[in-house]
Amino acid sequence: MNKRFITVSLFLSMVTTSVYANWLEDIFKSELRLEGFQRGILDREGEMLGVQRDILTSQREIDSLMKEVNGHLLGNSGWGTYQFHDYQSYGESARDWSGVMNMAERGEGSGYLGQTIGQISNQFPSDSYAYNNGIHDINSQKYYALKYQTVLASRAASQLDYDKIQEQIAYQQMLQQQIEKTKDLKAAVDLQNRIQVEGNLINLEILRQTALVNQQQAVSEQASVNAALSNARFLNRK
């Protein structure tokens, strides 16, 4: 009886010890896996911190470079007014269309356009007196004066612009030759802006010529309106 009890007790003890050992082994392995997982998280966090440090360093370098660039863009290079010459202005008397018409009516005026109007007017003077003596219709008389003044102004503007073209080309070439002479970033940017401004002024000059052409076409169409009005008056007299 005692031997059997002892044998059973020893067996149970061995089984219990084996189960307990396996349980401890499982816990140990789980702790190792957990420790490895935590170590992986820490490694990734370290990598992220390294990346953030690199980004911060890059941002500081960029800020430093931007401050350096901004420092080079300060000051006055002088290219904005370098050998400035106004090739686009027609003169103070030509600020608006009414001023141009007044010069064309007088056959002379101040400024470049006024001088050119005077030259063309001397070649082909207007003789409103002779026209009005032959044509007594008021609208026709007004139209003749308007047509003459518009043609005179358009011719003068076209001739003036054409005479300036070669000078403008030489002026642009002179500015272009200065590109290799810029000493720093500020000077290069200012010169580029200066050339761009000169190009914009030429584009505005082209736009002004387009407006003159449109004005001439509109005045020519006025003849059709006058003719329609004359026909209507003639029919009404019947």
pLDDT at 18: 55
Single pTM value for the model: 0.62
User: What pLDDT is stored for residue 75 in this prediction?
Assistant: 67
d(CA 151, CA 219): 9
The rounded distance, in Å, linking the Cα atoms of 94 and 186 is 36
pLDDT of the residue at 152: 93
CA distance 211 to 94: 14
Residue 15's pLDDT is what? 47
Contact between 109 and 125 (Cβ < 8 Å)? no
pLDDT along the chain (238 residues), means of 10: 54 53 62 69 77 80 67 68 81 90 91 92 85 84 89 92 90 88 83 88 90 88 71 64
**Domain regions of the chain by residue span:** 1-72, 92-237
What is the reported pLDDT for 117? Answer: 93
Task: Categorise residue 182: left if φ over 0, alpha if ψ from -120 to 50, beta otherwise.
Answer: beta
Is the separation of the CB atoms in 113 and 86 below 8 Å? no
